[in-house]
Amino acid sequence: MAPSKPGFSSDPAKTGFVREHVRSGTEIWDGLRGIAILLVLLYHTWLFSWYTPEFAPFGYALDIAGPVRTGYLGVEIFFVISGFVLFFPYAERAATGGPPPSLAEFARRRFLKIAPSYAIALVATVFSARALLGEHTSLVASIANHVAFVQNFYNDQLGGANSVFWSLAIEVQFYLFFPLIAWAFVRRPAIVAGAMIVTAIAYRFGVERCCLQIETVTRQLPAFLDLFACGMLAALALVRLRTGVPNLTRYKLAFTLLALVLVVAACAMFWSADEQSYVPGGRERWVATHRTLLGIGIAVFGVASSLGAAWWRRVVANPVLVFLSIVSYNLYLWHTLVLIWMWKHGVPPAATPNPHDDPHWKAAYIASGWFACVAIASAITYFIERPLLGSVRGQPFSFDWHVRRVPPTAPSETRT
């Protein structure tokens, strides 16, 4: 066997572009994650560049900017996906009679996935925002809040410099309760899911009158429990359908049609959210009233697409979206930091005092900004995040720090 190149493993478990769960038929959720990060990236790009895409085939203007302006809903998709991914191993093992993942296994994998990449982004954010943070004591307090993942309770300049950090707090706070929720969910899924959904709706409507536009109130874990519940229900439904329904493939056309209908419904919801965003408090009110419905739609779409026709699964989980899925966490952590830094420092330079008045700047800003964001995210994912996760289970798109080139031994020769 030829020696491995430095940093590249010959272990089949770690090679290949497609991840393990792609082979298990849940690659749709990779595609969904890719869509979610693309929506968030489009939204913040529009927010910082003021570029609004236009499309006018045959002279008829079509509004395609609605999903761009409402790309913040990609975060909602992330939470549904998180519920699915976290609970899927529990649902599978419950269906086969196996033991659930151990608490140590769960904690280790979550720590390796979240903490190292987050620490790097947090340090970079501190250096980037140090001029805005004011006195040393406020900087220390802000860093402490972010290290403890309670930044969603506070408004500070550090969170303003990297506006996505609040959702990491929601995610990690959910991890603290997830093992107990998963234990109960396996035994009484309808009751637990119902309790999570009712809690989320009650919280959102409870704070609507007093605190609708106060982010430190609306961005709290109880407000998002229905999204996690939808993802967990999707994992359970997918496993039970596969294990309990014989000849499930005969329904793949029906599942594909259902997924296509849900795509149309999702587009209608995005345009509806865009219309409400021009009313004072309209965006927050729309999210509060439609979040559960959006979560259900995402969950049903994921299940239907996972059971749909092979061509449809390839469309949703195409190589571009799968790649974006793989680097999505680091792309999420870095994109606002990079785009804001470039904007504030005049990179690239504009021909007008206000760069938003220069259409050529917009094009150059978006192209160079996206390239920088994807490059940084890919490097951290490849060299840090995935190798660390590989210590738990083999990962593709991962630099192998343990492999070293071994010089080939020259064959011995007998001279006469």
pLDDT tens over the chain, length 416 residues: 444 444 444 444 444 444 444 445 689 999 999 999 999 999 999 999 988 777 666 667 666 777 789 999 999 999 999 999 999 999 999 999 889 999 999 999 999 999 999 999 999 999 887 765 555 557 888 899 999 999 999 988 788 889 999 999 999 999 999 999 999 999 999 999 999 999 999 999 999 889 999 999 999 999 999 999 999 999 999 999 999 999 999 999 999 999 999 999 999 999 999 999 888 889 999 999 999 999 999 999 999 999 999 999 999 999 999 999 999 999 999 999 999 989 888 999 999 999 989 989 999 999 999 999 999 999 999 999 999 998 877 788 889 887 654 455 544 443 33
CA distance 271 to 53: 15
Assigned domain for 399 exists: no
Tokens of 261: 């209908």
Q: Is residue 381 within 8 Å of residue 326, measured between CB atoms?
A: yes
pTM over 0.85: yes
Joined together, the tokens standing for residue 90 give 């529990």
Distances (CA, A) of 126 to 36, 48, 334, 355: 26, 20, 13, 26
> What CA–CA distance (Å, rounded) separates 309 from 256?
6
- Is 293 a domain residue? yes
Domain total in the chain: 1
Within a domain: 24: yes
Question: Is 201 within a domain?
Answer: yes
For residues 13 and 225, what is the distance between their CA atoms, to the nearest angstrom?
34
300 found inside a domain = yes
- Provide the residue range defining the domain that includes 307: 12-390
Burial class (CB in 10 A: 0-12, 13-18, 19+), 286: buried
What 3-state class would DSSP assign to 171? helix
Query: Under a CB-based contact definition with an 8 Å cutoff, are residues 84 and 302 in contact?
Result: yes
Q: Classify residue 254: in a domain, yes or no.
A: yes
| Domain assignment of residue 82, yes or no | yes
